Structures are given as C-alpha cells and as structure tokens.
C-alpha cells in the first residue's frame, strides 16, 4: 500500500506518521478546502477511522485540540 509521509511541528513535538494515500485523497475530495496536514490530524485523532473523521468534519465536531489548527495546513 502506498503511503504518504507527513512531517510537521505540533504541540512542540515532532511527529511522523504514515497514512494511506487513498484515505487522504478521499478526504480531500470530500473536503477540498482543508489541507492535507489538517486532514491528517483529524484522521490521527480518530485512529485512522475514515467514517468517524468524515462524520466529525460534516458535523463540524472537531476536537478542540485540532480545531485551533489552520484548516489549510
């Protein structure tokens, strides 16, 4: 499975993770105004559960720790 590696600073810690390209691409199709980094954070919060991430984004029920992050990240 192809993976997308994202490296960024968040909460003063370096994090690196692998998220399947297909998952990020699906989210970007549904939520084109949101950046890859923001979508990655949402997926990470919901343990890479696509359905829970989509539900949170549709309901604008983003956890406070992520909601403060710029959405075009």
Report pLDDT digits (tens) over 11-49. 434 444 556 678 899 999 999 999 999 999 999 999 999
pLDDT at 34: 92
* Closest C-alpha among 66, 23, 26 to residue 48: 23
Write down the pTM of the prediction: 0.69
- Mapped onto helix, strand or coil, the DSSP state of residue 51 is helix
Residue 53: count other Cβ atoms within 10 Å of its Cβ.
Answer: 25
SS3 per residue for 22-70: HHHHHHHHHCCCCCHHHHHHHHHHCCCCHHHHHHHHHCCCCCHHHHCCC
Give pLDDT, residue 11. 43
Q: What is residue 43's predicted lDDT score, i.e. its pLDDT?
A: 93
Q: In this model, does residue 59 exceed pLDDT 60?
A: yes
């Amino acid at each position: 499975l192809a993976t997308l590696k994202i490296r960024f600073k968040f909460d003063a810690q370096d994090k690196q993770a692998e998220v399947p390209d297909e998952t990020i691409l699906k989210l970007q199709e549904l939520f084109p105004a949101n950046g890859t980094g923001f979508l990655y954070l949402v997926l990470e919060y919901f343990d890479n559960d696509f359905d829970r991430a989509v539900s949170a984004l549709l309901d604008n029920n983003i956890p406070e720790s992520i909601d403060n992050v710029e959405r075009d990240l």
